[in-house]
Amino acid sequence: MPAAYHTLQGRHFFLPTQEVISLEKRSKNRLVVVTVIILGLLAILLYSATRGGNNLSYFKTVTEINNDSTLIGKSVRVGGKVIPKTIVKSGTKATFKITDSKNQITVTYSGALPATFADNIQVIAEGTYKKKGLVEAESLVTKCPSKYENQPIVTK
Amino acid sequence: MTYLGYIALVLAAIAAVSAVTLLYIRSGRTGSPEHQMKLPYQMVYAIFGFVTLACLVLLYGFIAKVYSFDYVAANSSADMSLFYRISAFWAGQEGSFLLWLWFVSGAAALIAYLRSHVYDVLTSNALMVMSAVQAFMLAFMLVLGNPFKIAAVTVGLGINPLLMHWAMVLHPPTLFMGYALMTVPFAYALAALLTGDASPAWVERSQRWTLVGWLFLSLGIFLGAAWAYVVLGWGGYWGWDPVENASLLPWLGATALLHSFHIYRQRQSFKRWAISMSVFAFFMVIMAAFMTRGGIVQSVHSFEGTTGILVYYAAVIVTVLGVTGYLLFNRWQDFESKHIFESYLSREAVYHINNILLIFCSVIILVGAFLPQITKQTVGAGVYSAIAQPLGIVLLFLISVCPLLSFGETNLLKFGRRALIPGVIAIISAVPWFFYWKSLEAMVKSVNPSQALPANGWLGYVGFIVATFAIAAACQIYGSKIRLRMQGGEGFATAVGRFFVKTPGQAGGFITHLGLAIVVIGLVGSSMYTVSLSKTLADKQGANFSAGKIKFTYQGYEQTKGTGKEINTTIFKVVDENGRSLRNAEPAYIYYTVREQPGMNADVIIQPFRDIFMVFQGINNSNQLIFEVKINPLISFVWAGSILLILGVIIAVLPKRPGAPAK
């Protein structure tokens, strides 16, 4: 063992003796073993993180949700534009309607409203599709202001 | 004027193509005599010159308010100050691409200049790759993202007022600088493959560039998070949105790359890792750009894309993966490393696991971003958190154990001796941490009883203990390095000073790891135990409410008018649980009159172990004022740790002074 070990430590003139070759092979085996164990653990982690589909939600348009009653009770993510003058704030709860320019749906949300939340703003609501035409949002995001390129051009 | 900018880009493209051609013909595997290499290097300077000219033209457009530039009109307005008009350069898609290109061409020109006394083959090949990258970017700008389009309107639209903040001004260029610098290790990796030179030469030449790139990527993420926390008024700094995640991709890749580089140089090992990670980090830059600018990823931040852009990115991805895959396949044997794994208990083993975990994180983020396009399902923040929390703790543990191990094979006795003190400290700390952890849970319950406690709170507790271990281990290493120098006859101050000056890489690396441990403590507190409370109040002086035992008493509000905005500031007297008066909280609701858009100026009372965060959300339909209060424990640890982390990299980047390092 010691002789082969020293050869292994030396960086030049590497002499592939029988002993060294078997060391090389063991080194490769260790690599495979560690990699396989880690990947296995990661797979378990991934599985448990997404288990039951609890954390995956269906991304739907307003029209799709309105036409699909099987989604009732499931978690959904829906995007649309806030219809002007539909925002009602009572207590700390906000209720408003969003549209995909064909259909509309009511969204309720209690919690902090995003800073840019207002009429005509694109929002993405994520939560439960309670009953036909109503999404109870647990999270609400507005399109980030870095997306200003699509702002309508103001011509007066 | 717009023509001048476009012509400059055309000339830059011509220079880029000539540079690629000349460098390809004249460098090859062996290189050419010096007089033949001068011209191709001058071509590299020429690209930089023309791109700079294009930048100056666009900059002139912003400064002189030339609204016949479509891009200038779309991103600035006459009433903006000079500072914000200049920053509008990178407010949109085309300008940020131009800035990114300018950074790449600047880096290429600097490399050419620094290596022009030798004209080594490796650098010539790397410059060829960098010129090719620039040619690709220029092709995009000339066809799909021309910043010099002529406008149809004659009035500037202005910038979104929420973006007018110093952190948001600096955030994009910082990230783009990081993106641009990731081109350097990629170029040198390809050069090493092209020339078949498996010595550490290519690593030596690109390591510092990568480190600086990593610094900018970290800074960029930090600035974005800080801005989100202060300006957006939602009391958070990270939401696992695809575009936020996108900024994490190159950072993860670069982290794996830096660590592979370290082993390559120290042990002549991890060669294939280093090559693949160079490509991986660069690929992640492309994916990050694609996620933000490709338009197919659903995000709150993304720009709209077109078919042309999709085709372009597909072509780039196929080219990068095709070329590097082919080269790597051809040179697979040349880049074999002899002794990767002499023992399970070795530094190499930890680096190996570290790399796999980092790649795993990147892949999850990528898949998560593109899943909605494939299965119509979205990956919520919950999934990312459930993966990131345990992995973060495991990574931190590996990081802290790694320096206690040896290369090759670790002597168990030695390892035990090194791990003893940090281990004991960590075990003892489990007791106070337990009480602190329980007090956090009690705090959440007392502020808002309806807020659920995190199901995996024990993971946070483990995180605290692991972080303590990491901090103790880092301190122990400092101690032992300094003791070693003092045994060599140096005084304490000299030993500390020399440790930083003579071995900045080591000293900086440990500071970075120390910072990371502190960040983890902050992340546990602020991501798991932030509690929020929504309240409505009548607009009446003396109206009050409590968050736990902290009492907020309404004093009234002030209305002020600024340029283009109305600010409504509410004033609260805040008394903490010990009956002490804190400073007044003054959250404001802003209305931007030009864009008819609201905004919120949150007020944050910063304390060492928690932030009291307060937002005024406007008035509800029964004329009550709406407020949200958040108690955000340990968040200052996130900022302090990040600053330490960045400081560590700055130290590591500093040029090494000659002198023998203490081994």
Q: Please state the ipTM of this predicted complex.
A: 0.76
Ramachandran angles phi, psi of A78, nearest 5°: -135, 140
Cβ-based burial of B58 (10 A; exposed 0-12, middle 13-18, buried ≥19): buried
Lowest pLDDT segment from B72-76, B134-138, B594-598, B608-612: B594-598
pLDDT for residue B350 is more than 50: yes
Residue B299 and residue A144: Cβ atoms within 8 Å?
A: yes
Q: What is the mean pLDDT of residues B36-61?
A: 95
> How far off is chain B from A3, nearest CA to CA, in Å?
15
CB contacts of A146 in chain B (<8 Å) are: 160, 163, 301, 303
| Residue B552 in tokens | 């907020």
CB contacts of B96 in chain A (<8 Å) are: none
Q: What is the mean pLDDT of residues B471-480?
A: 90
Co-location of B230 and B105 in the same domain: no
CA-based nearest residue to B606, from B578, B569, B642, B637: B637
Q: Tell me what pLDDT residue B513 has.
A: 92
Co-location of B152 and B220 in the same domain: no
Q: Per the domain annotation, does B343 fall within a domain? A: no
Q: Per the domain annotation, does B14 fall within a domain? A: yes
> How far off is chain A from B486, nearest CA to CA, in Å?
30
Side chain identity, residue B415: F
pLDDT for residue A2 is more than 70: no
Q: What is the mean pLDDT of residues B241-252?
A: 88
Q: Per the domain annotation, does B594 fall within a domain? A: yes
Top residue of B149, B155, B300, B389 to mutate, by most chain A CBs within 10 Å, is B300
Residue A150 and residue B304: Cβ atoms within 8 Å?
A: yes
| Domain parsing of chain A, residue ranges | 2-49, 58-142
Measure the CA–CA gap between B184 and B205, rounded to whole angstroms.
9
CB contacts of A145 in chain B (<8 Å) are: 160, 162-163
Element (H, E) at B259: helix B242-267
Percent of chain B at pLDDT > 90 equals 51
DSSP-derived secondary structure letter, A41: H
| Residue B125 in tokens | 């090949």
Co-location of B444 and B540 in the same domain: no
Last residue of a domain, one of B107, B132, B164: B164
Lowest pLDDT segment from B50-59, B74-83, B635-644: B74-83
Measure the CA–CA gap between B332 and A46, rounded to whole angstroms.
31
| Closest chain A residue by Cα to residue B451 | A111
Residue A27 and residue B364: Cβ atoms within 8 Å?
A: no
Last residue of a domain, one of B317, B342, B363: B363
Residue A30 and residue B300: Cβ atoms within 8 Å?
A: no
Q: Per the domain annotation, does B179 fall within a domain? A: yes
Side chain identity, residue A29: N
Co-location of B583 and B509 in the same domain: no
Q: Tell me what pLDDT residue A122 has.
A: 79
CA-based nearest residue to B539, from B626, B629, B624: B624
Domain count, chain B: 4
Domain membership of residue B42 as a residue range: 1-164
Residue A79 and residue B298: Cβ atoms within 8 Å?
A: yes
Co-location of B578 and B433 in the same domain: no
Pairing of strands A75-82, A56-60: parallel
| Closest chain B residue by Cα to residue A15 | B338
Co-location of B620 and B559 in the same domain: yes
Residue A35 and residue B356: Cβ atoms within 8 Å?
A: yes
Q: What is the pLDDT of residues A94-136, one digit of tens each?
A: 899 998 888 889 999 887 777 677 788 778 888 888 888 889 8
Q: Tell me what pLDDT residue B317 has.
A: 92
Residue A145 and residue B235: Cβ atoms within 8 Å?
A: no
Q: Per the domain annotation, does B417 fall within a domain? A: yes
pLDDT greater at residue A4 or residue B53: B53
Co-location of B643 and B496 in the same domain: yes
In CATH, the number for domain A58-142 is 2.40.50.140
Co-location of B171 and B159 in the same domain: no
Closest partner CB to B234 (pick from A23, A42, A114): A114
Residue B532 and residue A31: Cβ atoms within 8 Å?
A: no
Mean pLDDT of the residues in chain B: 88
pLDDT for residue B285 is more than 90: yes
Measure the CA–CA gap between B257 and B125, rounded to whole angstroms.
20
Q: How confident is the model at residue A142 (pLDDT cuts 50, 70, 90)?
A: confident
| Closest chain A residue by Cα to residue B591 | A116
Element (H, E) at B350: helix B347-375
Q: Say how many CB pairs under 8 Å bridge A and B.
A: 167
pLDDT for residue A53 is more than 60: no
Co-location of B160 and B171 in the same domain: no
Closest partner CB to B534 (pick from A111, A146, A150): A111
Cα-based distances in Å from B465 to B8, B399, B440: 57, 14, 15
Q: What is the mean pLDDT of residues B400-421?
A: 86
> How far off is chain A from B75, nearest CA to CA, in Å?
8
> How far off is chain A from B40, nearest CA to CA, in Å?
37
Q: How confident is the model at residue A147 (pLDDT cuts 50, 70, 90)?
A: very low
| Closest chain A residue by Cα to residue B596 | A118
Residue A56 and residue B380: Cβ atoms within 8 Å?
A: yes
Q: How confident is the model at residue A151 (pLDDT cuts 50, 70, 90)?
A: very low
Top residue of A32, A55, A64 to mutate, by most chain B CBs within 10 Å, is A55
Q: Tell me what pLDDT residue B620 has.
A: 79
Residue B536 and residue A46: Cβ atoms within 8 Å?
A: no
Lowest pLDDT segment from A24-38, A136-150, B392-406, B637-651: A136-150
Cβ-based burial of B459 (10 A; exposed 0-12, middle 13-18, buried ≥19): middle
CB crowding B417-444: b at 16 or more within 10 Å, else e? ebbeebeebbeebeeebeebbeebeebb
Q: Per the domain annotation, does B87 fall within a domain? A: yes
Residue A27 and residue B159: Cβ atoms within 8 Å?
A: no
Q: Per the domain annotation, does B381 fall within a domain? A: no
| Closest chain B residue by Cα to residue A77 | B378
| Closest chain B residue by Cα to residue A150 | B304
Q: How confident is the model at residue B216 (pLDDT cuts 50, 70, 90)?
A: very high
CB contacts of A23 in chain B (<8 Å) are: 342
Co-location of B324 and B439 in the same domain: no
